[in-house]
Amino acid sequence: MKDIFFTKEEKRFREEVREFAREVIAPRAEEVENGMYPGPLLKKIGEAGYMSQLHSVEYGGTAKGLVYEMIVAEEIAGVSAPTDMSRTASSTLCAIPISRFGTDEQKKKYLTPIIKGEKIGAIGITEPDVGSDTAGMKTLAVREGDEYVINGEKRFITNGADADIITLFAITDPSVKAKRGMSAFIFPTDTPGFKVEKVYGLMGMHGMRVAHLKFEDCRIPAENLLGREGLGFNILMDELDTERISIAGEMIGIARAAFETAVKYSTERVQFNRPIHKFEGVSFKIADMATLLDAAELLTLRAARMIDRGMNASKESAMAKVFAVDHAFEICNQALQVLGGIGYTTEYPVERYLRDVRIGMIGGGTSEIMRFLIQREVYKEFKLKTEMEQRAAPVEVSSVQE
């Protein structure tokens, strides 16, 4: 499939990233699984240029585009998923709003260090009472002279406990709906009044630090406003399609690692005097897994190419994410079944893949929200009005992937 749908340059780049992941990430993947925050690895990823795909050359990027970002996500996540989730939270979720809406000065000061891996970024959207519905956002930013004073809480923030910079969303005008009263800010975490309230223990993605944050009378310069007041919701929406492709790529990478483990094991494990891949109960699972992997990659590649060409891909990115996520979980589950009892132990990494992949159904917009977006776009294309469109609909957000 890759010989047809990926260019020679893209295939060469994949081999380059795969080699980097094997040499640099793999030797420390077990440490990350045991709880080490992958900060040192993020620095090496930045130094190697793999934070740069979506950003302008002028600020240290390579501007290669989303297909290349998808490749990086697949290859690094296939070796250490929490490392790539942490990378994405910094170089995509935090950095894309700065890259697209920041001033020249803001980009030089904040974006370039993230791209180089010198600084770690996070994005602050989700709150204790705000998940898929950002209209309930309570964090406030009040203008006082040349400063904004910020009060509120954010939770489920990936990199939140370790970030140097947070792209922070807050309400600047509570008198209007959140779509018009929300603004975005570049928030340095050395600001007085900022506090890491809690770091959550996670079912999977060990080493990925997800935090509950508090902002108490935090004063930041007015020049840290991204774009203009009231533009926050547009900035948030602008980032989401890109984020979903990165997440889909990560899920494909995890699923491929599980698939390859299952294929290899099925040729080595012998029962009834023959390798278990000789039994259709096993080989048909392999066939289904291979088919789902290719389908997920093709859907994701289509959406990535559309976005790279400046096309609207809201439906396609949602399709790619929900298909890749849901079927990555299925692939990991079937891979564990192929391994049988040993797959349920920590002797093989398949149990870890199954735990790691589960977050994809929640982060970056739940699978339910993805389906809502897809059907909405379908009915728009057919110019049909539905009952759903007449009711208040969930608002797109990043959910716990933040």
174: phi then psi, degrees, rounded to nearest 5: -75, -5
What is each CA distance from 282 to 35, 279, 292, 340, in whole angstroms? 34, 6, 16, 11
Q: What is the pLDDT of residue 396?
A: 47
Of 178, 207, 229, the one marking the end of a domain is 229
Q: What is the pLDDT of residue 398?
A: 45
Token pair belonging to 204: 């999977």
242 plus 383 within the same structural domain: yes
Say yes or no: 361 and 324 in one domain: yes
CB-based contacts of 30, cutoff 8 Å, min separation 6: none
Q: Are residues 116 and 145 in the same domain?
A: no
Both 203 and 341 in a single domain?
no
- Between 397 and 64, name the one with better pLDDT: 64
Question: Are residue 212 and residue 274 in the same domain, yes or no?
Answer: no
Same domain, 300 and 371: yes
Cα(364)–Cα(243) distance, integer angstroms? 7
Out of 83-92, 135-144, 241-250, 288-297, which region has the weakest mean confidence (pLDDT)?
Answer: 135-144
Domain boundary among 64, 90, 120: 120
Residue 399 confidence (pLDDT) = 43
48 phi/psi in degrees, rounded to 5: -80, -10
Residue with tokens 């759903």: 388
> Same domain, yes or no, for 277 and 298?
yes
* Torsion angles phi and psi, residue 310, rounded to 5: 80, 15
Residues 36, 131, single domain; the answer is no
Residue 387's pLDDT is: 56
Q: Report the C-alpha gap between 263 and 283 in whole angstroms.
A: 9
Return the HEC string of the chain: CHHHHCCHHHHHHHHHHHHHHHHHHHHHHHHHHCCCCCHHHHHHHHHCCCCCCCCCHHHCCCCCCHHHHHHHHHHHHCCCHHHHHHHHHHHHHHHHHHHHHCCHHHHHHHHHHHHCCCCCEEEECCECCECCCHHHCCCEEEEECCEEEEEEEEEEEECCCCCCEEEEEEECCCCCCHHHHEEEEEEECCCCCEEEEEECCCCCCCCCCEEEEEEEEEEEEHHHEECCCCCHHHHHHHHHHHHHHHHHHHHHHHHHHHHHHHHHHHHHCEECCEEHHHCHHHHHHHHHHHHHHHHHHHHHHHHHHHHHCCCCCHHHHHHHHHHHHHHHHHHHHHHHHHHHHHHHCCCCCHHHHHHHHHHHHCCCCCHHHHHHHHHHHHHHHCCCCCHHHHCCCCCCCCHHHC
Does 128 lie in the same domain as 113?
no
What local confidence, expressed as pLDDT, does residue 382 receive? 87
Residue count (the chain)? 402
Residue 217 gets the label, from left (phi > 0), alpha (psi -120 to 50) or beta, of left
Give residue 189's domain range.
122-229
How does the average pLDDT of the chain come out, rounded?
Answer: 93
- Residue 136 pLDDT class (50, 70, 90 cuts): confident
Query: Using CA atoms, how far apart are residues 138 and 67, in angstroms rounded to an integer?
Result: 36
pLDDT on residue 391 = 56
- What are the structure tokens assigned to 349, written together? 């990494």
pLDDT at 402 over 90: no
Q: What is this structure's pTM?
A: 0.92
CA distance 42 to 209: 13
pLDDT at 129: 82
Query: Is 238 in contact with 100 (CB distance < 8 Å)?
Result: yes
Tell me how far the alpha carbon of residue 91 is from its chain's centroid: 10
The backbone torsions φ and ψ at residue 152, rounded to the nearest 5 degrees and listed phi first, read 155, -170
CA dist., res. 137 & res. 126, Å (int): 8
Q: What is the mean pLDDT of residues 57-71?
A: 97
Q: How many Å apart are CA 169 and CA 166, to the nearest integer?
A: 9
Give pLDDT, residue 383. Answer: 79
Number of domains in the chain: 3
Arithmetic mean of pLDDT, 287-291: 98
Clarify whether residues 132 and 214 are in a common domain.
yes
Q: What confidence tier does 62 reach under pLDDT thresholds 50, 70, 90? A: very high
> Which of 60, 89, 120 represents a domain boundary (last residue)?
120
What six digits make up the tokens of 159?
């990199």
Each residue's pLDDT tens digit, 376-400: 999 998 877 655 555 555 444 444 4
Burial (CB count <10 Å: 0-12, 13-18, 19+), residue 236: buried
The backbone torsions φ and ψ at residue 287, rounded to the nearest 5 degrees and listed phi first, read -60, -45
* Spatial distance between the Cα atoms of 52 and 92, rounded to a whole number of angstroms: 9
Q: Are residues 240 and 316 located together in one domain of the fold?
A: yes
CATH number for the domain harbouring residue 159: 2.40.110.10
Please enumerate in sequence order all residues whose Cβ is within 8 A of that of 382, keeping only pairs 6 or more positions apart, or say none.
none
CATH number of the domain encompassing residue 108? 1.10.540.10
- Amino acid in the structure at residue 313: A
Does one domain contain both 182 and 86? Answer: no
- 267-279 average pLDDT score: 94
Q: What is the pLDDT of residue 400?
A: 42
For the chain, give the percent of residues with pLDDT over 70.
94
163-186 per-position pLDDT tens digit: 999 999 999 999 888 788 999 999
Domain CATH code at residue 311: 1.20.140.10
Q: What is the pLDDT of residues 201-258, one digit of tens each?
A: 999 999 999 999 999 999 999 999 999 999 999 998 888 899 999 999 999 999 999 9
